[in-house]
Amino acid sequence: MRQLVFFLSVLLVLWIAGASYWYVCKIRCDCRQAVAPTEEIQGAGDIAEPSPEELLRASVEETGKYLTASGIRKGFFPSSSAEGDLGDISDEYLKKLKLYLDNNPSATVEVTGHADITGTEAYNIKLGLQRAEYVKTYLVNAGIKAEQIVTSSKGSSEPAASNSTPEGRAANRRTEIKVIT
């Protein structure tokens, strides 16, 4: 009986040691060899970490390049309507536009409303302006300052496509968003 108790005690100690090793080394991965510190490169201390202001400036410059590269954004509208689909204005674009404008107070966004050939020119000018104001409200609701948004209307004077087809007229019922630096 004594031998059995001794044998079970030794077995219990071995089991505890094995389970502890498995938990610490295999599950928590705490048994990995420590990496020796590398030698300091001569002159490495001379290179300073960029300040938050420098990082922000770089981010704003990158954002400006993105906005320039993305060109004019368009929103499209149903016939005789001042409310439409602004699907071309993504959340990413809005975030970058806001970041850029917040850090460049002299920059502006120009929103130009357009219309197709249906209706009188006076009506089309008014409708184009209503469309531009609709987009301005959308941008202001996204956090962009109203003072940095300029609206205008071209009416039907600058068509993007021929007004002789329904598809062409649909392409002409639009707003264009352009960043002016």
Walk me through the domains of the chain, giving residue ranges and CATH numbers. Answer: 54-180 (3.30.1330.60)
- Rounded to an integer, the average pLDDT of 35-46 is 50
What is the pLDDT confidence band of residue 150, given thresholds at 50, 70 and 90?
very high
DSSP string of the chain? -HHHHHHHHHHHHHHHHHHHHIIIIIIS---SPPPPPPPPPTTGGGSPPPPHHHHHHHHHHHHHHHHHHH--EEEE--TT-S--B-TTS-HHHHHHHHHHHHH-TT-EEEEEEE--SSS-HHHHHHHHHHHHHHHHHHHHHTT--GGGEEEEEEETSS-SS-TTSHHHHHHHSEEEEEEE-
What is the pLDDT confidence band of residue 41, given thresholds at 50, 70 and 90?
very low
| Per-residue pLDDT tens over the stretch 102-145 | 888 888 899 999 999 888 999 999 999 999 999 999 889 888 89
Mean pLDDT of the chain: 80
Q: Which residue has the higher pLDDT, 126 or 83?
A: 126
